[in-house]
Amino acid sequence: MDQLSQPGAPTPSTQPKNWLVESILVTIFCCLPFGIVGIIYASKVNSEWAAGRFAEAETASKEAGKWTKIGFFVGLGVLVLYLILYFIMGVALFSGAARFNN
């Protein structure tokens, strides 16, 4: 890992994706701390890249992506579970009420 960023190694031309926008979206819409971890790694991508540590920037990019995706899918999972429970309870209440009326 370290060898890649030593002087003399070829300079990659484009900065790795920093996932900042996705992290912000996860933070604002998912209300989970994973988005904030994503923002921290986004910051690391930019600063490592600016310091010329390209391999470290690449690693930070992977971490940023990982935490942002975890946040997104945990949020999605919670939403799906919630909706399933909501409709199961709704159906149970509805059929319960129907029995009561009969």
What residues make contact with other proteins under the rule CB under 8 A?
14-15, 18, 20-21, 24-25, 27-32, 36, 39-40, 42-43, 45-47, 49-50, 78-79, 82-83, 86
Nearer to other proteins, 9 or 51 (CB): 51
List for the chain the helix, strand, coil content (%; round to 5): 75, 0, 25
The distance of closest approach from Cβ of residue 80 to other proteins in the complex, given in angstroms and rounded to an integer, is 10
The distance of closest approach from Cβ of residue 102 to other proteins in the complex, given in angstroms and rounded to an integer, is 26
Interatomic CA distance for residues 9 and 14, integer angstroms: 15
The distance of closest approach from Cβ of residue 12 to other proteins in the complex, given in angstroms and rounded to an integer, is 13
Interatomic CA distance for residues 53 and 39, integer angstroms: 19
Amino acid type, 64: A
